[in-house]
Structure 1
Amino acid sequence: MSTHLLWPWLLSLFLLVLLGLFGPGRYVLAEGDSEAPDDDTLVRQAQAGDRHAFNRLVGRHQTLMYNIALRVLGDSDRAADATQDAFVSAYRKIDQYSGGHFRAWMARIVKNQCYDLIRYEKRRPATSLEALLLASSGGAESRPDPAGEHSAPERPDDATLRHEVASWLQEVILHLPIDQRLTLVMSDVHGYSYEEIAAATEVELGTVKSRLSRARRRVRELLQEQSELLPEQYRF
C-alpha cells in the first residue's frame, strides 16, 4: 500500500499517541456500569424531569466534550467555560433532542459555544500546553475520566519529549481554519463517524469529507515542511 493511502491512518495514530487519547478522550462506561441505560433512555428520563438522568449524561460525556473544546480553543479555561455553558444549554434544550446520536447533538452545542468564544473575543486561541498534557494524561486539573483509568507513568525523558512534540503538534492544529480543525479533531482524535460529524457541524456528508481531506493534507504539508524540528522517532 502506498504512503499516500496510508497517510490518514498514520496521521490518526500520530495524533492519538502524542495527545495521549487512547483512553480518557473517548467514551467508555464507568466500572460497574456495563448495564447502564443508553443515551436515548437517559435523555427520555431527563425530558421527563429526571435531573439525575441528565447528570449521568454529563458524567458520561464531559471528558470528551471538554477535550474537543480544548483542542479547538487551545486554552483550558476557555474550554472549561465552553463545556460548562454547553451542558447548561443542553439541559435547557433537552426537549428539542429527538433521538439519533446524543454525542453528535452535544458536540454541535459545544461547537457553537467554541465558535461564539472565537467570534466575540476576536483573538487567536493561545496554546495551553499544560492543560493539553493534563487533559491527555488524566492529571489533577483535567476533567474526570469516566473510566477511572490512568495511563502508566512515563519516564522523565519520554514525558519531556512528548511534551515538546505535543506542543508543536497543537500549534499545527491551531493554524487550521476552525471548520477544518473541528472536523480533524472529531474524526482523527475522538473517532466520530462522518455521519456524526455532519450532524454536529450541520453540513453535508461531502463537506465533512472535503474538510477532513484538506485538514489532513495541510497537516501533512506542515509536518513535512518542518520535519527537522521533530525527533527522529516521530518523523514520517
Structure 2
Amino acid sequence: MLQGHDHAFRLLVEKYRNDVFRTVFAVLRDQKEAEDAAQEVFMKIYTSLPQYENQGFKTWMTRIAVNHAIDVKRKQARRREEVVEALEQGAIGIGTQRDSVEKEIIELDQRRLVRKRLNELPENYRDVIYGFYIAEKSYQQMADEQQVQVKTIETKLYRARNWMKKNWKEDDFS
C-alpha cells in the first residue's frame, strides 16, 4: 500500500475514520483533541504499514489508536503540571521582590498543600474545582469542554464545595 497507493489509503481512511475517532475520543473525551489525535493515528498507520503482519487489521489499527490517545493524555497531564509549576515559580519570583525568603517558603508550602488536598477530592469534583478556581474558567467553558449542560457544572461545583466543607477544616490548610 505504501508504493504510491494514496487512493487505496484514502479509501482505508474513509472506511475506518469513525472507528478511529471513537476510539481516541473514548480516551481523550475532547472533540478537538480527538480530531487531531485521529489524524495523527492515520499518519502512524500509514508509516507503520510495512510492519503490519496480517493479524487483524482493525485490531491492529485500534491498538495504534488507543496507544496514541494514551500518549496524548499523558502529555496533557504533564503540560498541566508544568503550567502549575510555572505559575508557582512565577509567584515565588514576585514574592522575592516584595517580601522575605521566609514568606516565600510559607507560600510555596501552602500551594503544595492546596495541590495535595485537591488531589484528595473525588475526581468528578476535582475537575470543576480546578477549572473554576485555579484555571479561572467560566461555567460555560467547562460545560463546553465536558460536553454537559451549564446546570451540570453548577451542580458539580455546589456538591464539590459541600464535600470540602464536610471533609476539610480550615486548620488543615495552615
TM-score range normalised by the length of the shorter chain: 0.3 to 0.5
Larger C-alpha radius of gyration, 1 or 2? 2
TM-score by length of 2: 0.46
Higher relative contact order (CA 8 A, sep 6+): 1
